[in-house]
Structure 1
Amino acid sequence: MQMEVPGSPGGPMSGLVASAVEYMVDAGQRSILFLDVMRRRGDQYREHVAQTAPHVLQYAAELIIDGRELDEPVNYVLVRIVPPAAVQIDSARRPFIVIDPRAGHGPGIGGFKADSEIGVAMKAGHPCYFIGFLPEPVPGQTIERIARAEALFIEKVVSFHREAEGKPCVIGNCQAGWAVMILASVRPELFGPLIIAGAPLAYWAGVHGKNPMRYSGGLLGGSWLTALVSDLGGGKFDGAWLVQNFEGQNPSNTLWTKQYNVYSKVDTESDRYLEFERWWGGHVNLNAEEIQFIVDELFVGNNLAAGNITLSDGQKVDLRNISSPIVVFCSKGDNITPPQQALGWILECYADVDDIRAFGQTIVYTVHESVGHLGIFVSGGVAKKEHAEFSSNIDLIDVLPPGLYEATFEAKDEETTSSDLVVGQWVMRCEARTLEDIRAMGGNSPEDERRFAAAKRVSELNLAAYRKFVQPWIKGMVAPQTAELMRNLHPLRTQYEAFSSQNPWMKAVKSAAEGLEENRKPVSNDNPFLAFQEQVSKQIVHALDSWRDSQEAMSEALFLNVYGSPALQAAVGIDPKGELSRRREMPPEHRAMLDKRVAELRSRIGEGGLREAAIRALLYVGSARGMVDERSIEALRQARRDDSGARLTLAEFKMLVREQFFMLLLDREAALAVIPKLLPDDVNQRRAAFMTMSEVLSASEHITGERASRLQRVAQLFGLDAETLGRASNVAPFDPKAKAS
């Protein structure tokens, strides 16, 4: 037996030394290449901010309206997206309008990639428009003025597509989501379906142990700090502060993971990293009036869902006035806008699902399991799944009967029933839900509501004190040059500038990186030092995450104890033992309108013909399932003709569905009993309508159970025999004794 001597050729020490040398060569090269990526990032930043209208849209765009030229000028623009040569647009389809969030970053994130909100909408054949903004606000610009400008933009798009089936579908991302909801509540006639992605609408909502961002306003003493920062900025609020707030939510990613990922995979990750950083570093400014409205009315005040926002003309912002379907997309992995903040407004606006229906509203929500805040509108995987399905099935959503639904998705495969009726790679279903499903996600207790109400009152008092005693002095001391210097010296900006080619040391880095192109020697994947590097990285991430968790726990405890103090609550006018109810009652004028509409529908239950009878029967049978499948709607779309072959417009079809749905809701037995009177004498017409109905109902699965019983009852109402029912697609055997509820 021969013994190996450490350090001898072929010995373990020799292998370790070789691995160390290999790793050190690779680490040195990666360090130079990483620094060069930082240099390119800095140069990219300088080029981007030097542009008059910087954006990250991947698509060519044609300017339609420049908001700076309006009677009430704003720094917003409307552009038409020019489809790529390979994309075919159907002019008959409703247009899509994507409104980007102005939350500190520049515009373009909705069209950041080919697989994006704009990309999937165009792929589905929809004309696309984009509402973006310039880096500098127009003097005197306010949130309300921007809303009026966006209304003009949407009116222009509508004028271009008067022949389209349906009004524009408008997508509002993050901050743009609440802006769209405000506008849609005061100008509901402009909108088709709304897709609200990652948008906070109920700002106090959340659960203990999570969602610490909602405590920030109270811990800082309210919005006086916002006013101070705006005053130091010479009347402008630097969007870099908003970006810094986002970054502070995940310090391990901000301080380590994002950069380490580039360093460890510098040969493959640099382009992706630079693409994202071009948007992430494009900070924009807001007027002091704009950010003060956002913080006072929304973040701290939480007045949107409560209906406590009043516009300059005296009009109240009431989300219940929105007449278009509302699609809310949120994620459990979103620590900026958790599901409670995206959906909690529903609990504040409505008592139950019947209340939603009484306002004629259709609300569809979907909750992703893991994607983060930016991933909701940046991730290509999300775009190819959720956004692609929403785009392809937007007409399905538009004709849903009023109520609350959850959109779910199932992958299409060889065993999928009627797969030819599925547009994409996923089958979308809208399943009926109640308000209890939203409450089950968690939310505030009455004690929590009192705490946030107390924080709101403290904010108001502190802001009033600041404006009276401090603001005049600050405004008098800050010159425009001083404000500009402070913006340029913001830490988020200086980190880009410091590594740009303006730094003479980075020129040496560039030369060294160029010399490595032919001599690059990546380390092998099984190198033990590389494994040690990964382990160290994980330990750093764990340490930073632990620090974040402890800080968040301390912040939550501090907020709950300070604002939970009965003495503080009493001092600011909050009853420490009272229960704050933010849910509103139905306005008397809406109640009167509703009563009139109910009486009208009751009087018209016996009116109509074969088309009304068929839709009524279809809704009666289909409602037993408690969900709507895109295959059923596609089958219905293909059969959307009356006995003479005339085609209903989408708006006419939507009205027909809604009226028949409400008739069944008001008096189902009476609505069913008159069906025979609505039918033609020609049995062949009745049989053809029934067979079409059965094809629609069986498009997604066999008709069994309660649905089969109800279909049997419909067959009897249509005067059809058991043989006809037996010929219908996928229907359980006819049982003449079966009774449907």
Structure 2
Amino acid sequence: MNFLANPLLASTSSSDTLASMMDPFGFGRAAMNYWRDSVERNILYWDVMRERGNQYLAHMEQTKPNVLGFETEVLMDGRTLPNPTNYELLRVLPPSNVQVDPQKRPFVVVDPRAGHGPGIGGFKPDSELGVALKAGHPCYFIGFLPFPEPGQTVEDVVEAEVAFLRHVIELHPETTEKPMVVGNCQAGWQIMMAAALEPDVFGPILIAGAPLSYWAGEHGKAPMRYTGGMTGGSWITALTSDIGNGLFDGAWLVQNFERLNPANTYWKKQYHLYANVDTETKRYLEFERWWGGHVVLGGDEIQYIVDNLFVGNRLSTAQLVTRDGRRIDLRNVRSPVVVFCSRGDDITPPPQALGWIRDLYEGEEDIIANEQTIIYCLHDTTGHLGIFVSGSVSRKEHSEFTANMDYIDVMPPGLYETTISHASERTDAELIERDYLLEFTPRNFAELDQDVMHKPEDDRRFATVARISEINLGLYRLYLQPWLQAVMTPEAARWIRRMHPIRLGYKLLSDRNPLTVPLPVMAEYVRRHRQPVEQDNMFKALESMASDQIVASLDAWRDLRDSSTERMFMDIYGQPLLQAAVGLYGDAHVHRRRPGAEPEHRRFIEHRQNELRHKIAQGGPHEAVMRSVIYVLGGAPATDERNFKRLRASRAELEPSTSLSEFKRLVREQFFILKLDREQALASLPTLLKGQSNERIDGYITHLEHVFAASGELSEHAAERFEQVKALFDKARPKAVSAPAAKASGEAENASVESAKTKEVAPANAAPDTASDTAAKKPSRRAPNQRKGTQRKQ
């Protein structure tokens, strides 16, 4: 190249050559590039902080702030109810590219009111609401306003949610299926309280990251459960409410969450934005709009929550009683309950999400006796917020729960764990319609205890905390509360809320601070002339290493703090003298006997068993088919959603007029009959099929084969059970008759069929003719020679 012909290239080449001579290893150029990049990133970072402050102020000035990503309309305002609350029912309007089927089950999401504002359940397109909308469900959202109504209580909120659900049911008279309700975190236990009081308004319930058993936890983890003991009980909650003139600032709850992970709060989250400021700004601001949207709770509300749930642990042991005398017993919940939790959740770890099952029941047999279906799903990595947001790590769980709620709604009572596998990882992928397969495995309490890790000695420690909390709260109310309430004014309380460190962090870095005036101008200039440093820059690598060291140091400090706190808690509240001083030493039932052990409950179970014994031989072909399905599949270690597709077809083919609630009753009743007396239940199958023709019986067997084929080949044990069922069905076949008699019988049967078609009414103990016609056209794929041989013999 002729450098003389191009002076610019010649100058550039000369400068590069000179730079290479003066800086042969490139350290100086790498340092200059990194210095420029770091200055630019600093300017952009602080400008994002300014935008965050402006966003916070604009959000808090709204009358009804929320972070929902969907358009909504208000259907009911809780402030108009007999006991006013700050909650409201919203209808979620689907996006233009989404079609909603009003015939489908309504889907209701209830967001937590634990310091933050509403909307996290519909925060993103792939959130809980987004998943349900894509599946075509009519969706509703129960949110709340920033300030409570005067005198509002937790019971008022529960009653408001029940009223909202009744209104949703009224809006969908064309469907008999009750709404599916999702309760996130704090809303989870609130929804369970409502379902225990009014079980008739609930369909399947999904509680995500909801702590129902606050005393449960694994040693070395779940540090939040020690907070009540280390502060001397709930008197500190009453003090905070009195400082707020009867209102509790949710920013204090948010601060507790942030202290759990100081590395993330004080460094990692902010450094991630600084290091990726060119791409992370939008995501960061979206999340901060919710995280910084602090709300206020009523003093009576938070005191009830801390006394009865956090410290008292009374919900999971049926000790809560409403003001009108109703006991809140979670055994009254009649809907299937799906518990979604994660081992990566440090706010609601699995023991606190699942411990209520062990607190309430003596074993899996007790769950079955109460006709309850409890399903739990354990994620390995997702954090607390990831459970609600339905992000990339937990999207498939929410999608599968939503898609299979009809299956879950008719599952037999018991305790199950669900797992989700990718279709491509299975050998029977051609039988799976979607990308994932939901499978259910029956569990016992020994397996549940591997996740709950219950320790009776810890119960006595936490019961000691509860007693000391009552003592300290009484002393505070006697000596300090009257003085504090006398001097605190509403204006002073507002000033204290404004001066909270978390709130100030947002306000000081906004346009209201004159020092931020140059930031937008500087940031705009940087964006126009941005020169990001290469990722292989040695100084950028050193920066990343330094960040990792800071995170490791903060994590080490957190671990030391948490382990020291746990050790102090165990030593203090494990002292026999302290336990004896509050009347708990040597008490074998420190917080109450399990409700399942009560005599009245045992009498109820005995009465229910006697009723079922009388029904063993009652019914017809549909009872026989359903009993056979449950018997064969009950012998398998697990079942999955594909069986439900055939069960749903069973309902459509054999009993098209049967409602879902009646179908569910049939499934559960046959399950209990098999559980009560399996030998007698099987021996009664020929009785249930008495009077059926060979063609009908062949049709029932073919139908059973289709049900079992939906999930692939049967296991050896299940196949043996199926052969046993077919032999029992063969016993019900009519005896051989002469040709004229057979002809007359056939003409009579045809006449009765025509009569039934004319009246459009099927006999109560026989399947509709559409089932037999369908079955006759579908030859059996299992043991055809056996049936033909039987017919030839006849």
Q: Given the two structures, how large is their TM-score scaled by the length of structure 1?
A: 0.95
Measured after TM superposition, the shift of residue 343 of structure 1 is 0.5
Equivalent pair of 1:115/1:383 in contact (CA under 8 Å)? no
**Equivalent residue, structure 2, for 1:435:** 445
Q: Output one character per residue of 1:301-330: Cα deviation in whole Å (capped at 9) or x when no partner.
A: 111111111110011111111111011011
**Equivalent residue, structure 2, for 1:176:** 187
Amino acid at match of 1:79: L
Q: Output one character per residue of 1:500-528: Cα deviation in whole Å (capped at 9) or x when no partner.
A: 11111212011100111220001101100
Equivalent pair of 2:390/2:398 in contact (CA under 8 Å)? no
SS of 2:532 mapped into structure 1: coil
The counterpart of 1:526, out of the listed 533, 536, 539, is 536
> Aligned equivalents of 1:163 and 1:379: distance in 2?
30
The answer to whether the aligner puts 1:660 opposite 2:713 as a matched pair is no
**Equivalent residue, structure 1, for 2:768:** none
The answer to whether the aligner puts 1:555 opposite 2:562 as a matched pair is no
Measured after TM superposition, the shift of residue 84 of structure 1 is 1.0
Equivalent pair of 1:175/1:200 in contact (CA under 8 Å)? yes
Distance change in 2, residues 1:732/1:488 (3 Å): farther
Equivalent pair of 2:382/2:394 in contact (CA under 8 Å)? no
The answer to whether the aligner puts 1:276 opposite 2:287 as a matched pair is yes
Amino acid at match of 1:678: L
Measured after TM superposition, the shift of residue 604 of structure 1 is 1.5
The counterpart of 1:484, out of the listed 469, 491, 494, is 494
Q: Output one character per residue of 1:620-678: Cα deviation in whole Å (capped at 9) or x when no partner.
A: 100111322101111222342344x6342211110110111111111111111111122
The counterpart of 2:474, out of the listed 464, 482, 491, is 464
The answer to whether the aligner puts 1:211 opposite 2:222 as a matched pair is yes
Measured after TM superposition, the shift of residue 8 of structure 1 is 6.6
> Aligned equivalents of 1:637 and 1:251: distance in 2?
51
The answer to whether the aligner puts 1:223 opposite 2:276 as a matched pair is no
> Aligned equivalents of 2:466 and 2:262: distance in 1?
28
> Aligned equivalents of 2:19 and 2:198: distance in 1?
83
Equivalent pair of 1:45/1:281 in contact (CA under 8 Å)? yes
Matches within 5 A, 1:4-83: 9-10=20-21, 13=24, 15-83=26-94
Residue ranges of structure 2 left out of the alignment (5+ in a row):
1-16, 733-776, 790-794
Measured after TM superposition, the shift of residue 715 of structure 1 is 1.1
The answer to whether the aligner puts 1:339 opposite 2:345 as a matched pair is no
> Aligned equivalents of 1:21 and 1:720: distance in 2?
91
SS of 1:641 mapped into structure 2: helix
The answer to whether the aligner puts 1:567 opposite 2:581 as a matched pair is no
> Aligned equivalents of 1:717 and 1:180: distance in 2?
45
| Higher Cα radius of gyration | 2
Matches within 5 A, 1:584-623: 584-623=595-634
> Aligned equivalents of 1:213 and 1:576: distance in 2?
27
Percent of pairs identical after alignment? 49
SS of 1:113 mapped into structure 2: coil
The answer to whether the aligner puts 1:163 opposite 2:174 as a matched pair is yes
Q: Output one character per residue of 1:374-432: Cα deviation in whole Å (capped at 9) or x when no partner.
A: 1111142255211111100001100000000001100012855364653x321001110
Amino acid at match of 2:611: E
The counterpart of 2:325, out of the listed 303, 310, 314, is 314
**Equivalent residue, structure 1, for 2:507:** 497
Distance change in 2, residues 1:605/1:598 (3 Å): same
> Aligned equivalents of 1:732 and 1:191: distance in 2?
48
The counterpart of 1:517, out of the listed 514, 519, 527, is 527
SS of 2:241 mapped into structure 1: helix
Equivalent pair of 2:350/2:452 in contact (CA under 8 Å)? no
The answer to whether the aligner puts 1:699 opposite 2:752 as a matched pair is no
Amino acid at match of 1:529: F
The counterpart of 2:413, out of the listed 402, 422, 435, is 402
Amino acid at match of 2:570: L
SS of 1:282 mapped into structure 2: coil
SS of 2:124 mapped into structure 1: coil
Measured after TM superposition, the shift of residue 214 of structure 1 is 0.3
Measured after TM superposition, the shift of residue 205 of structure 1 is 0.4
Q: Output one character per residue of 1:132-183: Cα deviation in whole Å (capped at 9) or x when no partner.
A: 0000000000001111111111110011112224101111100000100111
Give the number of aligned pairs.
726
The answer to whether the aligner puts 1:454 opposite 2:464 as a matched pair is yes
> Aligned equivalents of 1:624 and 1:731: distance in 2?
24
Measured after TM superposition, the shift of residue 704 of structure 1 is 3.0
Equivalent pair of 1:80/1:128 in contact (CA under 8 Å)? yes
> Aligned equivalents of 2:783 and 2:393: distance in 1?
34
> Aligned equivalents of 1:124 and 1:416: distance in 2?
27
Measured after TM superposition, the shift of residue 699 of structure 1 is 1.4
SS of 1:547 mapped into structure 2: helix
Equivalent pair of 1:83/1:122 in contact (CA under 8 Å)? yes
Equivalent pair of 1:38/1:499 in contact (CA under 8 Å)? yes
The counterpart of 2:391, out of the listed 380, 400, 403, is 380
**Equivalent residue, structure 1, for 2:743:** none
Distance change in 2, residues 1:96/1:442 (3 Å): closer
Equivalent pair of 1:501/1:507 in contact (CA under 8 Å)? yes
Residue ranges of structure 1 left out of the alignment (5+ in a row):
1-5, 737-741
Amino acid at match of 1:728: R
Distance change in 2, residues 1:210/1:414 (3 Å): closer
The counterpart of 2:692, out of the listed 653, 678, 681, is 681
Distance change in 2, residues 1:729/1:387 (3 Å): farther
**Equivalent residue, structure 2, for 1:542:** 552
Equivalent pair of 2:336/2:372 in contact (CA under 8 Å)? yes
Amino acid at match of 2:322: L
Amino acid at match of 2:130: G
> Aligned equivalents of 2:678 and 2:602: distance in 1?
22
Amino acid at match of 2:634: S
> Aligned equivalents of 1:694 and 1:583: distance in 2?
43
Distance change in 2, residues 1:337/1:660 (3 Å): same
Equivalent pair of 2:212/2:316 in contact (CA under 8 Å)? yes
Equivalent pair of 1:704/1:732 in contact (CA under 8 Å)? no
Q: Output one character per residue of 1:238-264: Cα deviation in whole Å (capped at 9) or x when no partner.
A: 000000000000000000011111000
Amino acid at match of 2:266: L
> Aligned equivalents of 1:347 and 1:320: distance in 2?
12
Cα RMSD (Å): 2.2
SS of 1:303 mapped into structure 2: coil
SS of 2:148 mapped into structure 1: coil
SS of 1:305 mapped into structure 2: coil
Measured after TM superposition, the shift of residue 576 of structure 1 is 4.9
> Aligned equivalents of 1:70 and 1:91: distance in 2?
27
> Aligned equivalents of 1:731 and 1:461: distance in 2?
76
**Equivalent residue, structure 2, for 1:140:** 151
The answer to whether the aligner puts 1:287 opposite 2:298 as a matched pair is yes
SS of 2:280 mapped into structure 1: helix
**Equivalent residue, structure 2, for 1:728:** 781
Matches within 5 A, 1:112-151: 112-151=123-162
Equivalent pair of 1:234/1:478 in contact (CA under 8 Å)? yes
> Aligned equivalents of 2:234 and 2:142: distance in 1?
29
SS of 1:380 mapped into structure 2: coil
Equivalent pair of 1:698/1:730 in contact (CA under 8 Å)? no
> Aligned equivalents of 2:783 and 2:513: distance in 1?
73
Matches within 5 A, 1:229-240: 229-240=240-251
Matches within 5 A, 1:241-260: 241-260=252-271
**Equivalent residue, structure 2, for 1:188:** 199
> Aligned equivalents of 2:398 and 2:714: distance in 1?
30
Distance change in 2, residues 1:729/1:508 (3 Å): farther
SS of 2:316 mapped into structure 1: helix
> Aligned equivalents of 1:309 and 1:415: distance in 2?
47
Equivalent pair of 2:596/2:602 in contact (CA under 8 Å)? no
Distance change in 2, residues 1:599/1:263 (3 Å): same
**Equivalent residue, structure 2, for 1:3:** none
Equivalent pair of 2:431/2:710 in contact (CA under 8 Å)? no
> Aligned equivalents of 1:296 and 1:123: distance in 2?
41
